Amino acid sequence: MRIDIISVVPDLLSGPFSHSILKRARERGLLEVNVINLRDYTTYARAQVDDYPFGGGAGMVLMIEPLVNAMEALQKETHYDEIIFLTPDGQTLNQQMANQLSLKQNLLLFCGHYKGIDQRFRDHFITCEISIGDYVLSGGELAAAVLTDAIGRLIPGVLNDESSALSDSFQDHLLAPPVYTRPETFRGWQVPEVLMSGNHKRIEDWRYEEAVRRTRERRPDLLEDKD
């Protein structure tokens, strides 16, 4: 999979993809992540990519021309399955969306900045708008990192145990059940007996029941969506 990210401040993304799971995915050739500086595609003086909004108001808006220049230059080499804009008013990212996007081959992500981007670019070129939550960040870079991580870990071969992702929270609309590891007893706190039984059917039943219980307590809306 290839993910290209267009940003005004690409240095913000120098760290998230250089460690842990995504680093291994890139080293194995399973995931390619490229961070591109939008300022390289502007024709304006002093690498300008933003201007004041028509109609007045506070803040600056990313101009359509450098956005289109960057997109069209990249499209000469790559066909993108989705062109995504990270924005607070997009569709809220969830596990099902990450699952679907992980099946794609090439994604192009645009990071908003300032007061956003010219609406004409959104209207004519963006195919998917994604938010990571009901709050506002200084730009879309951190959201792009979150989305890339959520997608990248689902690519076959990225996780050492591919079944691990299938038991994550939000798969099948349930939160993950409690997990335990050694020591079996710590300060009198005991690991549930069923997990030590070796009876895989009992263990799976217990995990499912615990997942449902935890979901009912913490995120009952997920059970409503499942119904």
**Would 2-152 and 169-226 be classified into the same CATH topology?**
no
Q: What is the CATH number of domain 2-152?
A: 3.40.1280.10
Which tokens belong to 159? 């996780």
Whole-angstrom Cα distance, residue 122 to residue 9?
20
Residue 93 and residue 132 in contact, taking contact as beta carbons nearer than 8 Å: yes
Convert the pLDDT of each residue in 126-184 to its tens digit.
999 999 999 999 999 999 999 999 999 999 999 866 555 655 667 778 998 999 999 99
pTM > 0.85 = yes
For residue 128, the SS3 value is: strand
Instruction: Determine contact, residues 184/225, Cβ cutoff 8 Å.
Output: no
The residue extents of the domains of the chain are: 2-152, 169-226
pLDDT in tens, 19-28: 889 999 999 9
Q: What fold is seen in the domain 169-226?
A: Trp Operon Repressor; Chain A (1.10.1270)
| Residue that is written with structure tokens 């267009």 in the block | 6
Question: Where residue 186 falls among pLDDT bands split at 50, 70, 90?
Answer: very high
